[in-house]
Structure 1
Amino acid sequence: MDFLDRNINFKALLKFSNISSSTQQHLKHVYASFALCLLVASAGAYVNVVFRFLQSSFLTFAGSLGMMMWLMFTPHSRENEKKRLGILAGFAFFTGIGLGPALNLCLAIDPSIIPTAFLATAVIFTCFSLSALYAQRRTYLYLGGVLMSVLSLLFLSGLVNMFIGSTVLLKVHMYVGLLVMCGFVLFDTQLIIEKVENGDKDYVWHCVDLFLDFIAIFRKIMIILAMNEKEKKKERK
């Protein structure tokens, strides 16, 4: 039974030999800020769903855009660090509120969709993030042009489908969009590493990229599960 007697070094799983120690420290700040964003966004979503706060999608969008612009034009410095984290929390809160309509749709169809979608998003995001961190530097940076091109096509197809109303096209849009956002997790993670290696230490803004990727994946998985569950209910009838 010697094959069962193995010492597994779990600390080795957290060692990224291709990333410098200073960059690893920076990534810790990025993911700590990312965790803060998820908590605040969850609070925003809860407030919207339970208390019906800010039901207007325009006000929510304006709030998110305003916070993002404020963060963008607030210089990264040690003096502004707490202020920028507060702005980041505000952006996350409005983003969470913006999830309200999708959450309400899922609650009306099947409440179990929400935890399932969140768990699936967490697994997907973690797997793709680790793939980017363990891969050789710049491996996935080539994806940038491809992802932006596909994203542009998805935007155009979404506009066309507003007039056509095709369910098939909507499904294709959702599934392809999900794959694209998974690709962005790979791309953005390695892009952050390159920015840090080149002297960009703005971990707050780097967190925004990953947070938006996570939210986009979560939203798309929710909608896909809701559509599938709705079709199942129609077939039962």
Structure 2
Amino acid sequence: MDNQHYVGSEHVASSGLMTRVFAWMFAGLALTAIISFFVLADGGMITYFEQNMMVFYGLLIGELILVFFLAARVHKMSVATASFFFFFYAALNGFTLSPLLSIYNVGSIGVVFAITAGMFGSMALYGYVTKRDLSKLGSILFMALIGLIIASIANIFMNSGVLYWVISYVGVLIFCGLTAFDVQKIKRMEAISMDEDNHAKAAIMGALALYLDFINMFIFLLRIFGNRD
């Protein structure tokens, strides 16, 4: 019997996975934006982070741990728990993005956000329609991302202006490529039949991947095109 045609049973077709992924992603971005808006409007939290940088860096490390934890344990979680951790991460990111956003004027942030949306949308569309297998590209981009992270940490101590700009431009290229790769991977998952719980968890993890692509692309573009106050 064809599992994709079960009605109200254990398995469902995954044809709506992409729509579900983008719905989760946009919800996460909206929560991040709302949290950042209130933190910036208050100003007290920005001052607190400036005076307690170890707390700020601790939150950044906590974000990394949370992403790896969710990726490793999502299949053993309930959908409700996975949803909680996804939105908790998006909310936490709203706090940690705020000190960066406070450096730039509002108009500049809006322009860069529009540029990011355009680039992200273009690369997502490419990943969805291309016939080219991007699997090998994904492996290369992952290794490049590891190098980018190491270079970024090193530059905290080196404080090199040249390396700062190299990291920024390379970062944009990496996350443009990862966007196309992740969308193609999600598209291929639409051909897989899975039960409702796994369908929801796949949507959450796909949304997390694209959320990270968008946010990081935005950060690097802001470093390049943003106007500081």
TM-score calculated relative to the size of structure 2: 0.77
Matches within 5 A, 1:21-40: 22-40=13-31
Runs of 4+ more than 6 Å apart: none
How far, CA to CA, are the matches of 1:123 and 1:131 in structure 2? 12
Shift of residue 188 of structure 1? 1.1
| Aligned-partner SS, 1:99 | helix
1:126 to 118, 121, 124: 121
| Aligned-partner SS, 1:197 | coil
Q: Does 1:45 align with 2:36?
A: yes
2:102 to 92, 104, 108: 104
How far, CA to CA, are the matches of 2:154 and 2:61 in structure 1? 25
Q: RMSD of the alignment, in Å?
A: 2.7
How far, CA to CA, are the matches of 1:23 and 1:47 in structure 2? 37
How far, CA to CA, are the matches of 2:36 and 2:108 in structure 1? 15
How far, CA to CA, are the matches of 2:157 and 2:81 in structure 1? 44
| Aligned-partner SS, 2:90 | helix
Percent of pairs with identical residues: 22
Aligned length: 203
1:174 to 168, 172, 175: 168
Q: Which amino acid aligns with 2:35?
A: G
How far, CA to CA, are the matches of 1:92 and 1:221 in structure 2? 20
**Residue number in structure 2 paired with 1:140:** 134
Q: Which amino acid aligns with 2:79?
A: E
| Aligned-partner SS, 2:106 | coil
Shift of residue 146 of structure 1? 1.7
**Residue number in structure 1 paired with 2:79:** 81
Q: Which amino acid aligns with 1:87?
A: F
Shift of residue 45 of structure 1? 1.0
**Residue number in structure 1 paired with 2:184:** 190
Q: Which amino acid aligns with 1:222?
A: L
**Residue number in structure 2 paired with 1:162:** 156
TM-score calculated relative to the size of structure 1: 0.74
**Residue number in structure 1 paired with 2:56:** 57
How far, CA to CA, are the matches of 1:23 and 1:50 in structure 2? 41
Aligned in 2, Cα 1:64/1:165: closer, same or farther, shift over 3 Å? closer
Would you say the 8 A contact 1:71–1:84 is kept in 2?
no
Shift of residue 72 of structure 1? 4.8
Gapped regions of structure 2 (runs ≥ 5): 1-12, 50-54
Shift of residue 203 of structure 1? 0.9
Q: Which has the larger radius of gyration?
A: 1
How far, CA to CA, are the matches of 2:76 and 2:19 in structure 1? 17
Would you say the 8 A contact 2:18–2:190 is kept in 1?
no
How far, CA to CA, are the matches of 1:140 and 1:76 in structure 2? 29
Aligned in 2, Cα 1:162/1:85: closer, same or farther, shift over 3 Å? closer
Shift of residue 191 of structure 1? 1.8
| Aligned-partner SS, 1:139 | coil
| Aligned-partner SS, 2:102 | helix
Aligned in 2, Cα 1:76/1:194: closer, same or farther, shift over 3 Å? farther
2:90 to 89, 92, 98: 92
